[in-house]
Amino acid sequence: MSIKTLSKKMLAIVAAGAMTMGLAMPTSVFAAGGDTTTTVKEAYISKTFNTEVGKDETFSFTATPVAGNTANVTIPDINFKETETGSITKKAKVSFPTNWPDAGKYEYTVTETGAAPAITDGEHQKMIMSHAEYTMDVYVTNGDKGLEISNIIVNKKKDDKGTAATGKVDISNTDKNGFNFTNTYVQEAGTGTDPTNPDPTYDKDGSLNVTKTINANGGTVDADKDFNFTATFNFPKGTDATTLGGVKDANGHVITINENGTCTFTLKANKNMKFTGVPVGTKINVTESATPNYKGSAVSVFNGQSQTKVEASKYNMALTVTNTLGQKQNKVDVTNTYDYVPTTGIIMNTLPYVLMIALCGAALMAFVAFKRRRLQK
């Protein structure tokens, strides 16, 4: 037998084997649209709720049948308690019919349909709802016990912002679940427990108020002197500087926040910087730059509670106050003490230099006297 003839027979055998294997494969593989990697027969949906303020909230979802599909699918509500804050994710199992009309593919569009109680967006609070959308394809085939699910495939069509998206997602009861809807509740710091009726302190201090006082320490200071400050904002998950319409100053002007979350400002004696539009839960650093001849200290209140005094250990040293903005009053009062020394007397800090000059002068006089005596001889 020639090599050419042998090659043809081998190819024929391989082709026949491939056809036999294809016929022997489970029907569910083809029913699943060619996805041979996984076979999933149940689905879980997940809800992530970001909130720094405890809220009793219930979120609901709908699986809308597509193209004349009459088999209804139900998705349980997912509940969050007032004691649950931060970024929390919970899952719920999707409920499928027990009696399917026929074998075939059943397609659904899955969306979030609401939150209860509903939050009305206002000047000082907002509920950022998810606009995500998924297509769920359920493949039903004849099994040992009649019609049953052979595979479920879920693809993302829109993300939480409503922007077009693509890709298959994990629908398992694990941390990898991607069949997810994310909502964020945000309240402005300093407005109190009822953001629709802010606390009286809000008008004065806003989300955060930084004030400047000078202790002249017996001397006279320049009332027009500028002291440099840097505020660093680390916004809670699901929020940023623009969430509540932008971080603003006392005049309602939007403040530029850099990519690293910082902004700079200056304060003169008896002046202040009031921030508004900052979410509750924002971590804040307020730093006053080192200033020659001044030593800083600060007393502060966060979420209505007085904090331990912060004080620089020496003059010409930077001072930083760090904390988290709460629902109630937030303020930082900075005092700078001037390093004043009366014009009479010797300043102890400069005494060594005075002594050095005196010694040098004495040595010079001694040298001149010595040279004079030599010349006289």
Q: DSSP states of 203-216 as a string?
A: HHH-SEEEEEEEE-
154-185 in b/e burial notation, b at 16+ Cβ within 10 A?
bebebebeeeebeeebbbbeeeebebbbbbbb
- CB distance 237 to 231 below 8 Å: no
Residue 262 CA, chain-centre distance (Å), reads 15
* pLDDT block averages, 10 residues each, the chain of length 377: 49 44 37 59 98 96 92 97 97 96 96 96 97 98 92 98 97 97 98 97 98 91 93 97 97 95 96 98 98 96 98 96 98 94 55 65 68 61
- Confidence (pLDDT) at 365: 74
- Confidence (pLDDT) at 352: 63
Within a 10 A sphere around the Cβ of 117, how many other Cβ atoms?
Answer: 9
Strand partners, 252: none
- Confidence (pLDDT) at 370: 63
327 token code pair = 């629902």
Fold matches, 26-186 and 201-338? yes
Which residue type, as a one-letter code, is found at position 121? Answer: D
> In sequence order, which residues have a C-beta less than 8 Å from that of residue 184 and are 6 or more positions away?
49, 50, 51, 127, 128, 237, 238, 239
201-338, CATH topology level:
Immunoglobulin-like (2.60.40)
- Confidence (pLDDT) at 280: 98
Q: What is the CATH code of the structural domain delimited by 26-186?
A: 2.60.40.3050
In whole angstroms, give the CA distance from residue 127 to residue 185: 4
190 token code pair = 């300093």
Within a 10 A sphere around the Cβ of 115, how many other Cβ atoms?
Answer: 20
Burial class (CB in 10 A: 0-12, 13-18, 19+), 127: middle
β-strand pairing of 331-338 with 208-215: parallel
Looking at the chain, how many residues does it have? 377
- Confidence (pLDDT) at 167: 96
Among residues 358, 3, 52, which one has the least CA distance to residue 188? 52
Q: Give the start-end residues of each E strand in the chain.
A: 44-51, 57-65, 78-80, 86-93, 104-116, 125-128, 133-143, 146-158, 180-187, 208-215, 227-234, 262-267, 272-275, 283-288, 294-302, 305-306, 310-311, 319-324, 331-338
Indicate the domain borders of the chain.
Answer: 26-186, 201-338, 349-377
